[in-house]
Amino acid sequence: MKQRISEALPNGELRHHGGHALGLTSFEDPHLIPTDTMPFEPWMVLAVEPGVYVEGRYGARVENVFVVTPEGGVELRVALAEESG
């Protein structure tokens, strides 16, 4: 995440986590940070929300929600569209 942000916006900074799990509270483990070693498990729901900030100019954060399946991650928006279509 940090590498892609740096490549797209060389003056931008990723100042905090890249996301976290969703559950009974809004900010659960695991967190998408290099030091969090908690494994993803099937049926976890994760908010992937990288933010980029350019000092003194602007900042932006985009959030996408993913479901961890036994086959890998699926963006919830895509999974719902496939099911309804």
The helix or strand, by DSSP H or E, that contains position 77, with its residue range, turns out to be helix 76-84
CATH number at residue 78: 3.90.230.10
Residues 20-51: tens digit of each pLDDT: 999 888 778 999 888 899 999 999 999 999 88
Instruction: Give the type of residue at 7.
Output: E
Bridge partner list, 74: 67
pLDDT tens digits, residue range 55-67?
Answer: 888 888 889 999 9
Amino acid at 33: I
What's the total number of domains in the chain?
A: 1
Q: What is the pTM of this model?
A: 0.75
For the cut 70, the answer to whether the pLDDT of residue 85 exceeds it is: no
pLDDT tens for residues 8-26?
888 888 777 889 999 888 7
Q: The domain containing residue 26 runs over which residues?
A: 2-84
